[in-house]
Amino acid sequence: MKRNKSVFLSVPYMVWMVIFTLIPLGVVGYYALTDPDTGVFTFDNIKNLSMYLPVLGQSVAYSLVSALICLLLGYPVAYYIAHRQPLTQKILYMLVMLPMCMSFLLRTLAWVGLLQDTGIINNLLGSLGLARVQLIRTPGAVILGMVYNYLPYMILPLYATLVKIDNRLIEAAEDLGCTPLQTFARVVLPLSVPGILSGITMVFVPAVSTFYISQKLGGTDTVLIGDLIERLFKQGDNPNLGAALSLMLMLLVFICTGIMNRFGGDEEGGVIV
Amino acid sequence: MSKELIRLRDLTMEFDGERILDRINLYINDHEFLTLLGPSGCGKTTTLRIIGGFLNPTEGTVIFDGKCINELPPYERQINTVFQRYALFPHLNVFDNIAFGLKVAKLPKEEIAQRVNHMLEVVSLKGYGHRNIGSLSGGQQQRVAIARALVNQPKVLLLDEPLGALDLRLRKDMQIELKRIQQAMGITFIYVTHDQEEALSMSDTVVVMDKGRIQQIGKPEDIYNEPKNAFVADFIGESNILDGVMLEDYKVRFFGRTFQCVDKGFAPNESVDVVIRPEDIDIVEPENGHLVGTVTSVTFKGLNYDIIVEFKGFKWLIQTTDYQPEGATIGIRLNPEDIHIMHKSEYSGMFGDYSSYSAEYDELTADAADEEE
């Protein structure tokens, strides 16, 4: 009865999971469904969520735009890396990973230093006698922050998929009359769909729940759902509403990954999120 | 036969300073079934890839229908390829794999459907159009790969060890099938294999290659019966290869004896390699033999026995249907037409001695050759 014994090996993580994931989730659920003042069971928090729909829409829009920009920037890079010599591939792969070795907060703060009104870029423009421009506290800055931080998560799954495409398939396409562009459209692109889907998921999911990037780089009107949750909890306004919002965000992420896995589900090569 | 279609002129290929092909000169006729035969690393696949347009030769030209096509990319050549291990598109079903080239050429839908369905019948896969590539057996995938290439009605079909991954029985069936398709469709086939039996049974012309050079070009019968050097003699079937001296036309001396033979045109007293095929040797009573030797090993092969016989320290392989026990003393007779004379070459002395022969060793090396490339 080997199988029964192997169950015991997973006990430590099971315990961990129950204490730090399932119980907190229950607490969030409890908060979401109770009244902040009386503690009585209520659907009011859920109903009140409707007023945050614009924020939710804004979060989704920012994240999707970032994911698409990451895809456009990342695909050519991943393609390039996948078609280099093995050693070059390793070096380039390391370079892509490198920013991830640095603190996320530090990376975002560095952008503040670059973009702010008296920051490096504006000072440079000023010293050249050019007009200073508003860079920070713009939607563009938020998207820039997201793209910068999450681009590696797009490149890596794309690279993993592209590097596995058999070169003989590309030769076969050329043999059957495809120009390089047609080969890409008819063979390489369809075969890299799993990588595209997991790349989009891996950018979209952290981007849609971020709060730090929008706080540091965005203006007062770029409030994302993550910011809202933080505010509702930390400033003590209404943790119950924040809990409800968290649940909704979780549901959204589930739906998105579900859709992605459905499209890429039966293909090989994708990184499963 | 018909007119010349492809000519390779002084084709030379170098990778990192290593010469893979050394001045290959070859012409291929329209409707011909030509096989490039040789051990792995002999340059046969490289030659095929140059014709297909996947490699650019370091030197030399590829002439197709009278025009140099060195600079033509693969997609502009009227040549299709059946790749080693098929290279079918995993994201397309059987129908769409076969239709691929026709769709790229933007043919009308009805014509595509009609031609693909016809090809499915030709390769005996009728009704398999909607199937996934992954659900097919090796033999079926092989036939899809052939159909995918042939549906474009190319002038030339290149086949790179197409049957290498199939088991023996399926391979025999597919050999017959391929030959039938080639004759029915009248397409030039350039076929790469390291299997000499396959080459001999299917081809109009066999090109034997080794070390990046062509060793011999000829009809299967000629290659077998009149090998040009010790390499060809050894690679195509089994051969006993001995040192001899050509005394004059039709007279050769080896093992201290003068034999009648059918070869002429050698210099007087020229040193030569003498080839004697194991199946040509007649076993007789010792007193009637040209040579007398001792049987040192016997292996049952099904059709015949492989026996190793020692003559004056030199071991010969003889194939016979008569059982001879180990240790028996036997005589052999050699008819003039059983003796083939070759000029000395760089391969002299390297092949044709069965002193270290063992059936198991033979099979081991054959397997190793299969796994390479």
Domain ranges of chain A: 54-264
Report how far residue A25's alpha carbon sits from residue B59's, in angstroms, rounded to the nearest whole number.
70
B313 reaches A (C-beta below 8 A): no
Q: How far is CA A168 from CA A81, B82, B131, in A?
A: 18, 11, 22
Please report the pLDDT score of residue B360 as a whole number: 43
How many Cβ contacts (< 8 angstroms) between chains A and B? 59
Please report the pLDDT score of residue B371 as a whole number: 42
Contact B203, B220 (CB under 8 A): yes
Token output for A131: 């007009």
CB-CB neighbors (< 8 A) of A185 in chain B: none
Please report the pLDDT score of residue B187 as a whole number: 92
DSSP 8-state symbol, A132: P
Tell me, what's the ipTM?
0.80
Report how far residue B138's alpha carbon sits from residue B170's, in angstroms, rounded to the nearest whole number.
10
Rounded to a whole number of angstroms, the distance from the CA of B204 to the nearest CA of chain A is: 25
pLDDT higher than 60, residue B358: no
Please report the pLDDT score of residue A2 as a whole number: 53
Average pLDDT over residues B169-184: 88
CB-CB neighbors (< 8 A) of B104 in chain A: 176-178, 182, 186
A191 with B83: Cβ contact below 8 A: no
CB-CB neighbors (< 8 A) of B96 in chain A: none
B91 reaches A (C-beta below 8 A): yes
Please report the pLDDT score of residue B302 as a whole number: 87
Q: How confident is the model at residue B189 (pLDDT cuts 50, 70, 90)?
A: very high
A178 reaches B (C-beta below 8 A): yes
Q: Which of A167, A170, A175 to mutate to test the interface with B (most CBs of B within 10 A)?
A: A175
Nearest Cα residue in chain A from B73: A174
CB-CB neighbors (< 8 A) of B79 in chain A: 175
Report how far residue A253's alpha carbon sits from residue A104's, in angstroms, rounded to the nearest whole number.
21
CB-CB neighbors (< 8 A) of A187 in chain B: 89, 91
Q: How confident is the model at residue B357 (pLDDT cuts 50, 70, 90)?
A: low
Q: Which of A134-143, A249-258, B6-15, B71-80 has the lowest mean pLDDT?
A: A249-258
Selecting from A176, A191, A267 the residue whose C-beta is nearest the C-beta of B101 gives A176
CB-CB neighbors (< 8 A) of A186 in chain B: 100, 104
Which residues partner with B258 through β-bridges? B253
Selecting from B53, B74, B87 the residue whose C-beta is nearest the C-beta of A168 gives B87
What 3-state class would DSSP assign to B96? helix
- pTM (2 d.p.): 0.80
Q: Characterize B248-264 residue by residue with b for buried, 16 or more Cβ atoms within 10 angstroms of its Cβ, and e for exposed.
A: eeeebebeeeebebebe
A168 reaches B (C-beta below 8 A): yes
Q: How confident is the model at residue A271 (pLDDT cuts 50, 70, 90)?
A: very low
Selecting from B75, B81, B101 the residue whose C-beta is nearest the C-beta of A179 gives B75
B164 reaches A (C-beta below 8 A): no
Q: How confident is the model at residue A40 (pLDDT cuts 50, 70, 90)?
A: confident
A187 reaches B (C-beta below 8 A): yes
Rounded to a whole number of angstroms, the distance from the CA of A188 to the nearest CA of chain B is: 10
Element housing B26 (H / E): strand B18-29
% residues pLDDT > 90 (chain B): 55
DSSP one-letter string for B266-310: PPTTEEEEEEE-GGGPEEE-GGG-SEEEEEEEEEE-SSSEEEEEE
Q: What angle do CA A91, A96, A100 make, to 5 degrees?
A: 125
Contact B8, B217 (CB under 8 A): no
For chain B, list the domains and their CATH numbers: 4-223 (3.40.50.300), 239-371 (2.40.50.140)
Q: Which CATH architecture has domain A54-264?
A: Orthogonal Bundle (1.10)
Q: What is the mean pLDDT of chain B?
A: 88
A190 reaches B (C-beta below 8 A): yes
Please report the pLDDT score of residue A66 as a whole number: 96
Please report the pLDDT score of residue B373 as a whole number: 38
B259 reaches A (C-beta below 8 A): no
